[in-house]
Amino acid sequence: MGPDLSADHQAEVDGLLAEYRRSREQLAAVQQELAAIRVTASTEDGGITVTVGPQGTLTNLVITDAAHQRYRAAELAAIVVRLATAAAAQASERAARTLTPVLPADSDPAAVLRGTADLSDAEIAPKKPPPSEESFEDVPTWMDTRDGRPPS
């Protein structure tokens, strides 16, 4: 082996290490961007404000005294859910836009964020364990009838 072959090998290793470092730096930057996502949604009058984080998790909720007086509890709850759902959808869109540049062209960023990537529904569905000899799962009971009497 001549000295040129060793130098070529070292140059290849150095190139691979440099690419690995760039990839790690890019991944760290994407993770920081994802972690920083915050979306706030409010009612028109500002009486109710929700803030969600990058995965749509509610991180802050403000309900003014005026909103407490204006809405009944069920109305408040429905408004909070509506605002949080809208904010979570926006957070998901931002996260997908953040991921798009670092994913392969044929990847679905929303699926990656859900944790399903390219898996089909059948692959994700929980597996039903095989019935055991002691399973009474399929045995009818009195709860399976309308009148409460055991099936005949």
What pLDDT, in 10s, does the model give residues 100-138?
Answer: 888 888 778 877 777 777 777 777 778 777 666 666 666
Q: What is the pLDDT of residue 3?
A: 55
Residue 12 belongs to some domain of the structure: no
For residue 52, is it within any domain?
yes
Amino acid code (one letter) for 68: H
CB 98 within 8 Å of CB 37: yes
The pTM of the full predicted model, rounded to 2 decimals, is 0.64
Q: Position 92: which residue type?
A: S
Examine residue 146 and state whether it is found in any structural domain, yes or no.
no
Domain annotation covers residue 21: no
Q: Supply the range of the domain harboring residue 51.
A: 37-125
In a domain, residue 10? The reply is no
Structure letter (DSSP) for residue 8? H
Please state the domain count of the chain: 1
Q: Is 129 helix (H, G, I), strand (E, B) or coil?
A: coil
**Which residues have a Cβ under 8 Å from the Cβ of 131 and sit 6 or more positions away?**
137, 138
In a domain, 101, yes or no: yes
In a domain, 131, yes or no: no
Render 13-49 in DSSP notation, one character per residue: HHHHHHHHHHHHHHHHHHHHHHHT--EEEE-TTSSEE
**Inside any domain, residue 1:** no
CATH number at residue 63: 3.30.1310
Provide, for the chain, the percentages of residues in helix, strand and coil under a 3-state DSSP scheme, each rounded to the nearest 5: 55, 10, 35
Residue 117 in contact with residue 109, Cβ under 8 Å? no
Which segments in the chain show pLDDT lower than 50?
Answer: 1
